[in-house]
């Protein structure tokens, strides 16, 4: 049995895949015997499959390739969970880089058999195993991953490892109805079920590029509402301190709707600013977003754009918030194709 499976979804990744594969080889080093790399190709139409097939042919005991119809990253990752043979599973992207000779350190860290393992934890005083027994301890972990508590870790799928039997026993899979924040929901659901976590400040993951930022998806609005409903369900029995987590998620949600849905639709000339403003007002009121705009608690977590948007939204200046967002994207040359 392999000790770790690296699940890598790919979709038209040929332009940067070779660089990532080189980094992956350096990360594994001389420890191929305990490592499985599971490529899940999500219906690529470029040279991605050719590159992956060549890689698998060099060492089929370490590398495996599964081909799927194009269904999105969540379905690809779920296929990885179901087909992994490693005791632990982690999810990596096809455009990133990793620290060299990582495996020996990883093997020592999982000797205590934690449900979760997080690398790249910032401002961590001592690496080690922590039990998660109370709702307050779970909230602390959730706050860490949302960047509103110290120590903290980058929000997103990077640098997080899961004991596969833990995932299967708790039926933890990615929600394929969610196209933004699906990774954050998966992490929060895992924290809600986990009994132990190993925290480490080891530098493991280096995100090199963002290739999906300016792609428009019509499902963003429904996705965001689904995401918030799922988070509310997770936190239903949690203590009052959960409000900080909820406000942070609401802020993210508001920025997502402006940037990746209504603003994008305006830039694509599918909605006028006036019509988009009317729809945005309705959603903001229905979802009770306004409380998250009042205080600037989390401004330091966001870019200047989002700080400005938060202040405009605080005073319900929805039209101006959309106009500013669209203007910034135009200056940057984004088309939201």
Query: Is residue 328 predicted with pLDDT exceeding 60?
Result: yes
pTM of structure: 0.96
CA distance 298 to 317: 20
State mean pLDDT over 249-273.
97
Query: Is residue 315 predicted with pLDDT exceeding 70?
Result: yes
Cβ atoms of residues 316 and 290 within 8 Å: yes
User: Rounded to whole angstroms, what are the CA distances from 248 to 96, 228, 254, 263, 305?
Assistant: 27, 11, 10, 21, 16
Query: Can you give the pLDDT at residue 1?
Result: 85
CATH class of the domain comprising 4-207: alpha beta
The domain segmentation of the chain, as residue ranges, is: 4-207, 220-332
Rg value, the chain, Cα: 21
Averaged pLDDT of the chain:
95
Tokens describing residue 201: 């400040």
Q: Dihedral through CA 243, CA 244, CA 246, CA 248, nearest 10?
A: 160
Beta pairing class for 116-118 and 196-199? parallel
Confidence of residue 209 (pLDDT cuts 50, 70, 90): low
Q: Dihedral through CA 261, CA 263, CA 269, CA 273, nearest 10?
A: 120
Query: Is residue 210 predicted with pLDDT exceeding 70?
Result: no
Confidence of residue 254 (pLDDT cuts 50, 70, 90): very high
Query: Is residue 100 predicted with pLDDT exceeding 70?
Result: yes
Query: Can you give the pLDDT at residue 169?
Result: 98
Query: Is residue 151 predicted with pLDDT exceeding 70?
Result: yes
State mean pLDDT over 172-196.
97
Tokens describing residue 333: 């040359």
Query: Can you give the pLDDT at residue 77?
Result: 98
Using one digit for the tens of pLDDT, what is the confidence trace for 124-144? 999 999 999 999 999 999 999
CA distance 4 to 200: 17
Query: Can you give the pLDDT at residue 52?
Result: 97
Confidence of residue 282 (pLDDT cuts 50, 70, 90): very high
State mean pLDDT over 278-302.
95
CB atoms within 10 A of CB 214: 16
CB atoms within 10 A of CB 29: 13
Cis peptide before 231 (omega within 30 of 0): no
Among 289, 280, 222, smallest CA distance to 251 is for 289
Query: Can you give the pLDDT at residue 207?
Result: 76
Tokens describing residue 129: 């195993």
Query: Is residue 325 predicted with pLDDT exceeding 60?
Result: yes
Cβ atoms of residues 123 and 151 within 8 Å: yes
Sign (positive or negative) of CA dihedral 114, 37, 34, 167: positive
Query: Can you give the pLDDT at residue 144?
Result: 98
Query: Can you give the pLDDT at residue 191?
Result: 98
CA distance 282 to 229: 17
CA geometry: angle 98, 194, 207, nearest 5 deg: 20
CB atoms within 10 A of CB 278: 13
Query: Can you give the pLDDT at residue 214?
Result: 67
Number of alpha carbons in the 13 Å side-chain half-sphere of residue 110: 23
Q: What is the DSSP code string of 305-330?
A: HHHHHHHHHHTT-HHHHHHHHHHHHH
Query: Is residue 171 predicted with pLDDT exceeding 90?
Result: yes
Percent of the chain surpassing pLDDT 70: 98
């Amino acid at each position: 049995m392999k000790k770790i499976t690296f699940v890598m979804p790919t979709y038209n990744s040929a332009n940067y895949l070779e660089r990532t594969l080189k980094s992956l080889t350096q990360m594994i080093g001389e420890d191929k015997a305990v490592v499985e790399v599971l490529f899940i190709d999500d219906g690529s139409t470029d040279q991605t499959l050719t590159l992956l097939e060549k890689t698998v042919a060099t060492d089929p005991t370490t590398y495996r390739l599964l081909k799927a119809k194009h269904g999105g990253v969540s379905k690809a990752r779920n296929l990885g969970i179901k087909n992994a043979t490693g005791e632990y599973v982690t999810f990596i992207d096809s455009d990133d880089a990793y620290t060299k000779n990582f495996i020996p350190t990883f093997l020592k860290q999982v000797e205590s058999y934690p449900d979760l393992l997080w690398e790249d934890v910032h401002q961590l005083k001592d690496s080690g195993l922590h039990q998660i027994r109370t709702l307050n301890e779970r909230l602390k972990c959730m706050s860490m991953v949302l960047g509103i508590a110290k120590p903290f870790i980058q929000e997103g799928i990077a640098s997080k490892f899961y004991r596969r039997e833990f995932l299967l026993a708790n039926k933890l899979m990615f929600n394929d109805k969610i196209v933004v924040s699906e990774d954050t929901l998966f992490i929060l659901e895992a924290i809600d079920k986990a009994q132990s976590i190993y925290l480490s400040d080891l530098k493991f993951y280096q995100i090199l590029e963002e290739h999906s930022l300016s792609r428009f998806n019509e499902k963003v609005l429904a996705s965001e509402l689904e995401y918030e409903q799922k988070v509310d369900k997770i936190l239903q029995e949690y203590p009052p301190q959960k409000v900080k987590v909820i406000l942070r998620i609401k802020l993210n949600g508001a920025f997502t709707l402006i940037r990746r849905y209504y603003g994008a639709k305006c830039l694509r000339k599918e909605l006028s600013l006036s019509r988009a403003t009317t729809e945005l007002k309705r959603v903001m009121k229905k979802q009770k977003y306004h409380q998250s705009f009042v205080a600037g608690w989390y401004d330091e977590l966001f870019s200047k754009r989002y700080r400005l948007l938060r202040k405009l939204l605080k005073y319900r200046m929805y039209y101006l918030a959309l106009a500013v967002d669209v203007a910034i994207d135009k200056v940057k040359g984004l088309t939201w194709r």
